[in-house]
């Protein structure tokens, strides 16, 4: 059954692969894409998203979202995000894991006039059938929409998120980047009453990694999407190798497309637990996910994936990339 999906991105290298997967795979009806500030400024994430939608010849409308987090920027006492996942190559050139997509042609794609949060309210209030939202950046757009009209949750059949972490972290010693960048928005989303929230935290995305050997499969496919995925993965593999090694060598976490792959084939997530999750809003754990594992707790609000099928994940991406023209 085709899933009707709105994709919320802070394009970035892994967001780009999520966009291609959602736009190309027949199991997904990509209704709209919304950009948000996160990996880069809103201007950059929007431009990068335009270029990727052009690359896969997508007709899906793009809505530009929030330029800054709900609260964080007005809190000078909050921990600042200092670390940028960068490496220096043998020529001494610095590579950031989420650079502008200068390798892709400039896009003259029109961004919709309506801001993303208003689009969420307008579309979801009048939706004739329920919609799945996949959000793989900071949750500012959706949180603002929920602040405008909390009743929009009635037409959200499932919210699939990339964010958070239980035994992992990347933005600080305790927090993951998406939730750290806008903790209040994340907290608002988890408290919104959306009927089903499925979370792909770092705990699963650090296991369902993509390797250089997988990139050879993409190379055999040879389509524009497959080639761009290789470009994104090889850069990420370099950064992971130097700064965040995983359990396989020559591998990278490709966080965001895993959320889309789950909608295409839910069995790609192999250890999913129904638990309660809160977001810390202060101090050293600012933006960290506080997950309640106690057996007797009865206010569970999220399905959290702790493991996945790495091969199935890559197979799903290969199937989609073959359809790129």
Give the interface with ligand RIB as residue ranges (CB under 6 A). Answer: 10, 12, 14-15, 38-39, 136-137, 162, 170, 176-178, 255-256
Measured torsion, CA atoms of residues 10, 12, 241, 87, in degrees rounded to the nearest 10: -110
Q: 172 vs 221, which CB is nearer to ligand RIB?
A: 172
Residues 8, 15, 214, 250: which binds Ca ion (CB under 5 A)?
15
Where do the DSSP E strands lie in 17-172? 28-35, 62-64, 86-88, 94-96, 131-135, 156-162
Length of the chain: 325
Which candidate in 206, 255, 276, 293 is catalytic? 255
Q: 221 vs 236, which CB is nearer to Ca ion?
A: 236
Rounded distance, CA 124 to CA 151, Å? 9
Q: Contact between 183 and Ca ion (CB under 5 A)?
A: no
State which of positions 231-270 bind Ca ion (CB under 5 A): 256
CB of 136 to ligand RIB, least distance (A): 5
CB-CB contact of 32 with 6 (8 Å): yes
CB-CB contact of 266 with 3 (8 Å): no
CB-CB contact of 40 with 100 (8 Å): yes
CB of 253 to ligand RIB, least distance (A): 8
Q: Contact between 137 and Ca ion (CB under 5 A)?
A: yes
CB-CB contact of 266 with 241 (8 Å): no
255 is catalytic: yes
Local structure of 113: helix, strand or coil? coil
The residue with tokens 């000078």 is 76
Q: 10 vs 158, which CB is nearer to ligand RIB?
A: 10
Q: Contact between 136 and Ca ion (CB under 5 A)?
A: yes
182 binds, among Ca ion, ligand RIB, none (CB under 5 to 8 A by kind): none
Return the range that interacts with Ca ion (CB under 5 A); candidates 14-22, 79-87, 199-207, 314-322: 14-22
CB of 296 to ligand RIB, least distance (A): 31
Rounded distance, CA 139 to CA 175, Å? 15
CB of 244 to ligand RIB, least distance (A): 10
Backbone angles phi, psi at 194, to 5 degrees: -60, 135
CB of 117 to Ca ion, least distance (A): 18
48 binds, among Ca ion, ligand RIB, none (CB under 5 to 8 A by kind): none
Backbone angles phi, psi at 47, to 5 degrees: -60, -45
State which of positions 267-306 bind Ca ion (CB under 5 A): none
CB of 195 to ligand RIB, least distance (A): 23
User: CB-based contacts of 193: which residues, under 8 Å, 6+ apart?
Assistant: 150, 153
Q: Contact between 53 and Ca ion (CB under 5 A)?
A: no
User: CB-based contacts of 66: which residues, under 8 Å, 6+ apart?
Assistant: 36, 37, 42, 116, 117, 140, 141, 144
170 binds, among Ca ion, ligand RIB, none (CB under 5 to 8 A by kind): ligand RIB
177 binds, among ligand RIB, Ca ion, none (CB under 5 to 8 A by kind): ligand RIB
Footprint of Ca ion (CB under 5 A): 10, 12, 15, 136-137, 256
Catalytically active residues, by annotation: 255
């Amino acid at each position: 059954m085709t899933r009707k999906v709105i994709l919320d991105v802070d394009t970035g290298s892994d967001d780009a692969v999520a966009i291609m997967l959602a736009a190309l795979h027949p199991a997904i009806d990509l209704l709209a894409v919304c950009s948000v500030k996160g990996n880069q400024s809103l201007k950059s994430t929007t431009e990068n998203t335009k270029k990727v939608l052009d690359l896969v010849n997508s007709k899906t409308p793009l809505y530009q979202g929030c330029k800054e987090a709900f609260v964080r920027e007005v809190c000078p006492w909050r921990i600042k995000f200092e670390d940028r996942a960068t490496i220096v190559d043998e020529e001494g050139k610095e590579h950031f894991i989420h650079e502008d997509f200068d390798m892709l042609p400039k896009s003259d794609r029109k961004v919709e006039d309506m801001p993303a949060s208003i689009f969420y309210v307008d579309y979801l209030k009048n939706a004739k059938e329920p919609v799945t939202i996949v959000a793989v950046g900071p949750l500012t757009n959706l949180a603002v929409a929920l602040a405008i009209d909390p009743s929009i949750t009635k037409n959200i059949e499932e919210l699939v998120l990339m964010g958070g972490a239980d035994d992992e972290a990347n933005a600080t010693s305790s927090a993951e980047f998406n939730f750290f960048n806008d903790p209040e928005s994340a907290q608002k989303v988890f408290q919104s009453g959306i009927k089903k929230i499925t979370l792909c935290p770092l705990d699963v995305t650090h296991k369902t990694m993509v390797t250089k050997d997988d990139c050879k499969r993409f190379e055999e496919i040879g389509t524009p999407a497959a080639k761009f995925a290789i470009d994104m993965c090889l850069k990420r593999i370099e950064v992971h190798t130097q700064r965040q090694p995983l359990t396989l060598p020559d591998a990278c976490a490709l966080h965001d497309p895993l959320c889309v792959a789950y909608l295409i084939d839910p069995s790609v997530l192999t250890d999913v637990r129904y638990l309660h999750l809160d977001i810390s809003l202060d101090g050293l754990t600012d933006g960290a996910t506080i997950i309640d594992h106690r057996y007797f707790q009865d206010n569970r609000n999220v399905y959290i994936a702790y493991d996945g099928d790495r091969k199935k994940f890559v197979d799903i991406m290969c199937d989609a990339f073959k359809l790129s023209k």
